[in-house]
Amino acid sequence: MADPLEVRVPDIGDFADVPIIEVLVSPGDTVAEEDPLVTLESDKATMDVPSPAAGTVGELKVSVGDTVSEGTVLLTLDGAGAGGDAAGDGASAEAAEPTVAEDATPQPATDGPASYGSEAGEYEAIEVHVPDIGDFSDVPVIEVMVHAGDTVAEEDPLITLESDKATMDVPSPVAGTVRDIALKVGDTVSEGTLILTVAGTGAGVGANGGAPDEQRLPSVPAPPVEGTADHHAEVVVFGSGPGGYTAAFRAADLGLKVILIERYERLGGVCLNVGCIPSKALLHVARMIAESEEAKGQGITFAAPEIDLDGLRSWKESVVARLTKGLDGLAKQRKVEVVRGTGTFTSPNVIRVEGADGATTVSFDRCIIAAGSSAVRLPGLPDDPRIIDSTGALEIEDIPGKLLIVGGGIIGLEMATVYDALGSAVTVVELMDQLIPGADKDLIRPLQKRITGRYEAIHLGTKVASIEAADDGLRVTFEGEKAPEAQTFDRVLLAVGRRPNGPRIGAEAAGVLVDERGFIPVDRQMRTNVPHIHAIGDIVGEPMLAHKATHEGKVAAEVCAGHHTSFDAQTIPSVAYTDPEVAWMGLTETDAKARGIEVEKASFPWAASGRALSLGRDEGVTKLLFEPGTRRLLGAGIVGPNAGELIAETVHALELGADAEDLSLTVHPHPTLSETIGFAAEMAEGTITDLMPPRRR
């Protein structure tokens, strides 16, 4: 029997005495090659140390809190000959690389991982066919990405197809060497068409189609299903918004049988159907109208636009339909079963779904709750169709002459941007003393200055006291130190926030904890207090943003598949798609002041940006916050056109632990708005040449 393999810390660059923050395995655990063993955390980043080979964990030599450097022994690994020794040589290719034969028929069990192929250990060629591609057939091949003799990894793209709806890559189901290619560019293919043959090396392919010894089923056993149900899945995803469909598709990609429950006819949830996507379509139209007005100052005059509401609604709906139909196709390709209707838990393993055709029941081994949130409606208001929420506003039934928007947050101001451009006289009332209360005041200032000149009125520190419905409109009274007199409006849009749907899904029947605000508490693996039930998105807490939900959804799906993963984002960016846009991430000045955190601020005014001036939009500002001494990036805020696109660079920088020098030495293209991030960093470094550098204290 081979001696145990000592697994040591590999080359980790210039780092030394790095603390261990998590030990991911225990003695007796079976690990695959590249499975993470421990997590280290330096002052710059966290990093996992992977196993150099497959085997069984013997003795642990370290624990959480220990510090390690290159060469430190972490543990011993028994039966690890397949993966090579600590230096990575001496590996046995036959033992380390199981493969897939044409029929993928398992061989009798051995002491090592399951192996596939001929008894002599030579790997047979497998035929790769076009998989299920939905309703498409006779789809043209527009690119063949490999040649005979090429080595491919599992999931490497082989060919690209292009239908009238989309392009799609067909990935390799296994790792191996390409042999015979059966088609060429211009050929048309359908499901089952032979693409090529691969002589499989089998690297990373196990009995269930996943990695060797990778745990496919939940690591925490779910209780047995009580009674019978109409449908059963290994994973049920409860809600099909961005977080929900991402979780469902990722779980399916990891080999799990998935059912997706959705109350609406179309997939995509609030975001795709009545939220993020239709609002951005209308905001694009609003920007075009505004640009046509602004062109007068640049020597070009357009006639006033003629607004065809039917055409506008039709275009908005076409955008939504294209995305939701795409989701239908992706679900079908992944064999994700969709059950439509309103779901409620009836036990820890069963959801009852009330649909158009009656009730059905769905049982599961694991569940991911992605049931989202709902718009808040103020109490005591009349039941009048002229009082609408954001969903109603996106319908664009008409263009009201006078529109009151209750709530000066992101949703309210985005809708104000749309209706102002369409011709409504817009009044905004906000209870707090600033618009978009979560953002720093200096970022809001350029936005407020611009819209104050366009809107009928903006009332801060003011609340709606009452709304009375009359034939000639909605009479609204206000309260506050600077409250205006009562006024009559044609419509009132309520945009006072959203509340989580935790109380609306029968969570108590599953034993899932819902707090007093309606949120479902979760850990970093997105587990609720019931270990086999996860939750993601709006329903688990602020910020209620689709991009947070999608990343949480992937984590939950991977944990369901037995992966060692967790949600560990350093920041979640926020964007108001107003005109100008406002975006921020990480620590804000307001937060820093409230928490007593000292920061260094560096700002670059867009009035010194050639690109901003050429756009006729010089009101913007890019602001960066750094840690004193280290000058490590802590937060950022941007106001100006396309701020939502620009903020991503700073999110990436924060995740990487970048400092002011890193950002200032990054070469940005000129002339661009992205330069303003580099210029702000140069302000912090004192190396700015486009302005006078700030005086050193």
Catalytic annotation, pick one of 231, 532, 551, 670: 670
Please compute the mean of the pLDDT values over residues 426-445 and round it to a whole number.
Answer: 96
Cα–Cα dist 623/442, whole Å = 9
Amino acid in position 415? M
Handedness of CA 16, 18, 24, 27 (dihedral sign): positive
For 127-139, the DSSP string reads EEE----TT--SE
**Cα separation, 540 vs 549, whole angstroms:** 9
Summarize the confidence of residues 535-559 as an average pLDDT: 97
pLDDT of 442 higher than 70: yes
Euclidean distance between CA atoms 690 and 606, whole angstroms:
11
Please give the structure tokens belonging to residue 496. Answer: 């006072």
Q: What is the mean pLDDT of residues 617-631?
A: 96
Q: What are the structure tokens assigned to 122, written together?
A: 């030579």
Tally the residues of the chain.
697
Q: Is 670 a catalytic residue?
A: yes
Q: How far is CA 181 from the centre of its chain?
A: 37
Token reading at 93:
């290719």
Query: What is the layout of strands, in order, in the sheet containing 402-406?
Result: 387-388, 491-494, 402-406, 425-430, 457-460
d(CA 360, CA 686): 66
What are the two backbone dihedrals, phi and then psi, of residue 294, each rounded to the nearest 5 degrees?
A: -70, -20
pLDDT of residue 225: 66
pLDDT at 517: 93
Q: For position 158, what pLDDT does the model report? A: 92
Which pair of tokens denotes residue 226?
């009580």
The CA angle 567-569-571, to the nearest 5 degrees, is 145
Residues 110-115 have a mean pLDDT of 32
Is pLDDT at 1 greater than 70 in this prediction? Answer: no
Backbone angles phi, psi at 81, to 5 degrees: -60, -25
**Is the pLDDT reported for residue 148 higher than 90?**
no
* Res 314: pLDDT: 97
Are the CB atoms for 49 and 38 separated by under 8 Å?
yes
Confidence (pLDDT) at 134: 75
Which is more confident, 7 or 206?
A: 7
Confidence of residue 178 (pLDDT cuts 50, 70, 90): confident
Residue 165: the pLDDT is 66
Q: Which of 46-60, 476-490, 539-553 has the lowest mean pLDDT?
A: 46-60
Q: What domains, with CATH codes, occur in the chain?
A: 5-96 (2.40.50.100), 125-200 (2.40.50.100), 218-374+498-570 (3.50.50.60), 387-496 (3.50.50.60), 580-685 (3.30.390.30)
The whole-number average pLDDT for the span 91-101 is 32
Residue 335: both structure tokens together: 């064999």
- The Cα–Cα gap between 236 and 222 comes to 13
Whether pLDDT at 205 is above 70: no
How far is the C-alpha of 221 from the C-alpha of 254, rounded, in Å?
A: 18
pLDDT digits (tens, 9 = 90+) for 493-527: 999 999 999 999 999 999 999 999 999 999 999 99
Contact 361, 231 (CB under 8 A): yes
Bridge-based pairing state of the strands 30-31 and 55-60: antiparallel
Closest CA to 348 of 365, 323, 325: 365
Is pLDDT above 90 for 83?
no
For residue 85, pLDDT beyond 50: no
Those residues whose C-beta lies under 8 Å from the C-beta of residue 379, and which sit 6 or more positions away, are none
How sure is the predictor about 34, in pLDDT bands with cuts at 50, 70 and 90?
confident
End-to-end CA distance of the chain: 68
Question: Tokens in use for 612?
Answer: 């901003």
Comparing 192 with 236, which gets the higher pLDDT? 236
Is the pLDDT reported for residue 617 higher than 70? yes
Contact 117, 202 (CB under 8 A): yes
Q: Give the closest residue to 96 by CA, choosing from 83, 110, 77.
A: 83
pLDDT at 46: 63
449-465, pLDDT tens digit by residue?
999 999 999 999 999 99
CB 446 within 8 A of CB 605: no
Instruction: Report the mean per-residue pLDDT for the chain.
Output: 87
